[in-house]
Amino acid sequence: MKVIKKINNNVAVCLDNKHDELIAFGKGIGFPEIPYELTDLSLISRTFYGVDSGYFELVSEIPEDIFEISARIVEYARGKLSKKLNPNITFTLADHIYFSVQRFQKEIYVKMPISYDIQYLYEKETDVGEQAVKVINEQQNIQLGREEAASIAVHFINAEMMEENDTEELDDEQLIREITQIIERRFSIHIDQKNFNYSRFVSHMHYLLKRMNQETVISSENLKMFETVREEYSDAYQCAMEVGNYLQNTRNWELDKEELLYLMMHINRLHTREDCNQ
């Protein structure tokens, strides 16, 4: 196996003996001068094929133990689900898990409004989500709630749908592009749609759009959090309101405070990181 690009000391881009590109995890494989031929393949702990290069920077942001948890969950999912999964799923799921762990540590609880629908419509994906929560809680010594299983299930539903490329998915992609333009205008920034910050935002917007035409009531825990975030990130709140008006006009969908909180968090996350790159 030839190591052709260092991502960090323990992760590198490689070529196998068929000259197919892959991402390899292994202790110290990125440390020697590159390029070089890696002869001791026992050093490799994980390999990932077909990963979009836009996700490489995640490796520097997310702890390796989170990637290991994500890889274990994806392996379980491949044994349970009949559809082919997008090759980026391990990386997008790792990002979701890390963000969920951080939210838990900060005592931010985001309700999943469509958890009951996911449970009944996507039984196999829900099973994957439930197993994932058990693994995460055990490995990270935390207590994510049952609703987290639904949000993880949505990640796998999205990964399946991305392969199918169906009409509804294409409609959502167009809607997300319109939302992106609203954010760009509001903050006077240009969002690079090829980098991971945007890919992560798109993933979360797909998650939000699963809420279409469902009724829910904001939890008492999040009502106080909504008011705090609205005051602290007033620009993100105004932008979220503008997006909400757009969704109401185009989809006849009115965002409640639970959804506005979720949207504010991810608008602020996207614009802050993109603003730093301008």
> What whole-number distance in Å separates Cα of residue 260 and Cα of residue 236?
10
Q: What is the pLDDT of residue 19?
A: 93
Rounded distance between C-alpha atoms, residue 100 and residue 120, angstroms: 23
Q: Which tens digits make up the pLDDT trace of 41-64?
A: 999 999 999 998 888 888 888 999
Looking at residue 107, its pLDDT comes to 81
Task: Please indicate whether residue 140 or residue 212 has the higher confidence score (pLDDT).
Answer: 140
Find residue 21's DSSP bridge partners: 15
Helix (H, G, I), strand (E, B) or coil at 52: coil
Instruction: Give the pLDDT confidence score for residue 45 in this predicted structure.
Output: 94
In the chain, what are the domains?
1-49 (2.30.24.10), 52-165 (1.10.1790.10), 170-276 (1.10.1790.10)
Query: Which is more confidently placed, 31 or 115?
Result: 31
CB distance 258 to 219 below 8 Å: yes
Res. 137: pLDDT tops 90 = yes
Question: Is residue 72 predicted with pLDDT exceeding 90?
Answer: yes
Q: Does the pLDDT value for residue 217 go beyond 50?
A: no
Which residue has better confidence, 56 or 164?
A: 56
Rounded to whole angstroms, the Cα distance separating 264 from 106 reads 16
| pLDDT band for position 115 (cuts 50, 70, 90) | low
Phi, psi angle pair for 91, to nearest 5°? -75, -45
Q: What would the two tokens of residue 34 be?
A: 């590159």
Q: What is the pLDDT of residue 213?
A: 45
Predicted confidence band of residue 113 (pLDDT cuts 50, 70, 90)? low
The type of residue at 196 is F
Map residue 194 onto helix, strand or coil: coil
Give the rounded percent of residues in the chain with a pLDDT score beyond 90.
Answer: 49
Mean of pLDDT values over 77-89: 91
0.85 exceeded by pTM? no
pLDDT band at 116 (very low <50, low <70, confident <90, very high): low
Please choose, from the candidates 153, 156, 152, 175, the residue with its C-alpha nearest in 3D space to the C-alpha of residue 164: 156
Cβ atoms of 214 and 114 closer than 8 Å: yes
Stated as kind and residue range, the H or E segment containing 48 is strand 44-49
pLDDT of residue 277: 62
Mean pLDDT for 76-102 is 92
